[in-house]
Amino acid sequence: MSSARNLLQKAAREIGTRHRALRLEGVPHWVTPGDIRRMAERAGAIGIRDAYIESEKGIQTGTAFVEFEAPSLTRKAADLLKNAQISGIPITIAGYVHARSPKFHKRTRIDPLKPIAPTAPATAVIYGIPKSFKLKDVRAFLHEYKFATFGTPEEAYERVFVSSGEMTRWAIRLQSMSDAWRLVRHLHMRRFRFGQRGETLIGARVVY
C-alpha cells in the first residue's frame, strides 16, 4: 500500500510541474513519429508540438516522447492516452519530462533530415542509402516493393542529400499519402545488406 501511495504522490508532484512532454514506453520498433502523433490525435489530444522516438546506436529503444504547447495540454493528454494502443499493442505512459531539453531533442545521425518541399501528392525520404548508388541502383533496391510512382519512374526519384560519409538520402514522389506511409513502414529501422558492406540500418519518413 505504501509503495502505491508513494507512486501516486510522485505522479501528483510531476503533474504539478511545468513539464510539457509525455514519456511513452512499449513502442514497437516499426512505429514512426507520425504514428505516435496520430495515436495522440485520435485519442483527442490537442496542441501537439512534436513527437520523437528515442534510439540508441540507430536502434529504437521502445521509448517515445510527445511534446505539447502547454503543461495543461500535457496533463489532459495523459488522461486521454491511458488506454492508448498502436495496432493492438498497449502503450504505457511512463511519466512527464521537460520539453526542449538536450536529451529530448537529440538527433542521431540516422534521424530524419530537415523537411524538403514535396513536389508531388506525397513524398517519402529514404536515408542510409550508399553514396555510390545511382538511380538504377535505388530502383533495383525497391523493385520488390509495389507502389505507384508520380510521373515517369525517372522523375519520381531524386537524390536530396549527399554527406561527407558513405551514405546519402533519396526522395521518392508517390501518388498518395497512404502509399508513402506503406513504403516508410516497409523500410524504416530495418537492416539491409548492400554488397560487401555488411548490414546497414535504413530509415525512412514521409515529408508533408
- Ranges of the chain with pLDDT below 70: 1-18, 56-59, 99-120, 144, 146-153, 162-165, 197-198, 208
**Model confidence, pTM:** 0.50
Q: List, for residues 137-179, the tens digit of each pLDDT value.
A: 888 888 767 666 665 667 788 887 766 567 788 888 887 777 8
Please tell me the predicted confidence (pLDDT) of residue 115: 45
Burial group, residue 193, by CB count within 10 angstroms (0-12, 13-18, 19+): exposed
> Cell match 489532459: residue?
76
Residue 197 dihedral angles phi and psi, to the nearest 5°: -75, -15
* Domains in the chain with CATH codes: 2-97 (3.30.70.330), 122-207 (3.30.70.330)
pLDDT at 172: 87
> What does the pLDDT read at residue 151?
56
One-letter amino acid identity for 192? Answer: F
